[in-house]
Amino acid sequence: MSSINFPQIIGHKLTKQHLDNLINTNQLPKSLLLAGPGQIGKTTIISRLAQILQCTNQGCQTCATCQQVAAQTQINTHFFIEPGLFGIDAIRELKVQAHLTSTSKHHLFIIKNIERLNIPASNAFLKLLEEPPAPVRFLLTTSNEIDLLPTIRSRCQTLRLNNLSTTELTTFATKNLPETNITDLQLTLSLGKPGRLQELAQNPEYFAQLQTWYQKLSDLDNTPLSPNHFLLTKEISGLDRSQIIEFLITYQILVRNQPGSPKLKIIQTTINNINANFNAQLSLENLFLTTTKV
């Protein structure tokens, strides 16, 4: 059975059904947290929920209110979705807005990746979570639930979402990217994330780069250590950290269909080291020195 309130959103069947039940029984919590990997649709679901709450016609998607929520301009629906750290000044601004009179039934605050809060901001936000003004609701997402303060998690009802299946991704592409010929490699590289698939489809340079890395890694995988490994190491180590991580994720994608392979753990250790500011060239050299022996 399809979701009553979220029929246009692909995947996440159990989450949508649970939200349907909360909405229909008027039991939606004051603070809701959607947790799961990035680019799987958490913010899309939260934005749709905001339409349902603010609209006088069950989230019709055609009225001015629904369109304003979609455009992030609805006066009583506040979006905090920009990337980067979320500091105490932003929470102070949020507190001021939360105590203003709402002209709607609900005063909504949508915060994407709530783990971006630094410690002072988290402590200040916790006080607001504990005693929110009557019409205020917090609709939150996190891509790294472990980074949240336990006290913040305990104040929220958490729904956990997973990556989409290949079938669901194909359905998403058919519906949202009808003029794009999605390849099997794009589906593979998307990791079950519709946002990532859309990025691969709409950014040819990005896809071409991942495709090149995937091919180079395929050619080197399961071969003895060679000068080509060190040439690739030199090439990749000169990139910025985010690109190096993308390269390593591409390597993970390649080897994840090798059951029982220790390479996945080795690659993940390298990712952790790069994120911890270890020397990139030494980390990548050690990666290939290790993976060519297993």
Please say if the pLDDT value at position 1 is more than 60. no
pLDDT score of 166: 95
- CA angle 273/42/159 to nearest 5° reads 95
Question: Of all residues in the chain, what percent carry a pLDDT higher than 70?
Answer: 99
Candidates 3.40.47.10, 3.40.50.300, 2.60.40.730, 3.30.460.10; CATH matching 13-160: 3.40.50.300
- Taking only the tens place, the pLDDT of each residue in 240-279 is 999 999 999 999 999 998 888 899 999 999 999 999 999 9
| From 68-77, 89-98, 216-225, 271-280, the region with the lowest mean pLDDT | 89-98
Q: Where are the domains of the chain?
A: 13-160, 203-291
- Residue 3, pLDDT > 80, answer no
Average pLDDT, the chain: 95
Q: What is the pLDDT of residues 191-206, one digit of tens each?
A: 999 999 999 999 999 9
For strands 136-142 and 77-80, give the pairing. unpaired
| pLDDT mean over 51-67 | 95
Beta bridge partners of 142: 35
Q: Closest Cα to residue 271, out of 282, 283, 285?
A: 283
Residue 81: pLDDT band by 50, 70, 90 thresholds? confident
- Would you state the structure tokens that stand for residue 57, as one six-digit string? 């016609």
Instruction: Look at residue 4 in the predicted model and tell me its pLDDT.
Output: 79
Average pLDDT over residues 164-183: 95
Note the Cα 20 to chain centre separation in Å. 22
pLDDT value at residue 102: 86
Share of the chain above pLDDT 90, in %: 90
Cα separation, 111 vs 79, whole angstroms: 6
Neighbours of 149 (CB within 10 A): 16
Which residues, other chains included, contact 97 with Cβ-Cβ below 8 Å and sequence gap of 6+? Answer: 78, 109
Burial of 107 (0-12, 13-18, 19+ CB in 10 A): buried
For position 179, what pLDDT does the model report?
87
The larger pLDDT score, comparing residue 18 to residue 58, is at: 18
Which pLDDT belongs to residue 2?
A: 61
Sheet holding 31-35, edge to edge: 77-80, 107-111, 136-142, 31-35, 157-160
pLDDT-based confidence at residue 41 (cuts at 50, 70, 90): very high
Using a cut of 0.95, tell me whether the model's pTM lies above it.
no
Across the range 103-123, mean pLDDT stands at 93
Strand-pair category, 77-80 with 107-111 = parallel
- Token pair of 102, please? 């709402």
pLDDT at position 109 is: 97
